[in-house]
Amino acid sequence: MTCRYYDDHSIKLKEGDLPLSFSRNDLIAYAGPDEIIATALMFNMFRFAFSKLARDGELLERNRVKVQLGFPGPGVKDCVELVLRGLTRNAANVTEVTENLPEEAPLALVGRFYYEFEYEDRRIGLWPKEGFFTDEFREMVITFQPRKGSDEEQRKFQEFKDDLIRRIMSAGEDNLFNWKEVPVAD
């Protein structure tokens, strides 16, 4: 079931009595053009996690959402900062855990693409399904990011990124993420 506030165009939550909405373009503008894959992943991840944690169509309170990052890459952290103020005002709500993560989560350059989101008395773990963050992805990022290689190599890398982003953005939540309930720590 999809929550009433969940849509394909924005991440929605609130701060106090102010509804907030973030588009993918907002994430790109904040994180920058080298982080377009991270923004695609996090845009969908926030929407998916918030829809699973919300009750009765509520908007989650930005200052009470907690997140654990299994891959704390710069683009991921930029998105967490923009949406949750997770590196400044709400830094205590963000943890980085890059070891002893579920092996079914894809490997990242550091840690794994595994994330946990907590709101009030619920916590979920989620990770991308197989086929998105592959050995080819890791090799391309290691080889060509940030902006390494010839113009032709960068063009091919951009094509690779564009294809991955297209697949992420068009997959739909059930085809993009695995998820599970996780016990809330005391």
Enumerate the domain spans of the chain: 11-181
Sign for the CA dihedral angle at 173, 179, 183, 186 comes to: negative
Higher pLDDT, 17 or 6: 17
What pLDDT, on the 0 to 100 scale, is given for residue 2?
Answer: 39
Q: How many CB atoms lie within 10 A of CB 176?
A: 20
CA distance 183 to 147: 41
Query: Which pLDDT tens digit goes with each residue over 69-125?
Result: 999 999 999 999 999 999 999 999 999 999 999 999 999 999 999 999 999 999 999
pTM of the model: 0.91
Evaluate if residue 148 carries a pLDDT over 90.
Answer: no
Report the percent of the chain where pLDDT is more than 70. 95
**Topology of domain 11-181, CATH:** 60s Ribosomal Protein L30; Chain: A; (3.30.1330)
User: Partners of 118 in the beta sheet?
Assistant: 66, 123
pLDDT band per the 50, 70, 90 thresholds, residue 6: very low
Tell me the pLDDT of the chain averaged across its residues.
Answer: 92
Q: How many CB atoms lie within 10 A of CB 7?
A: 12
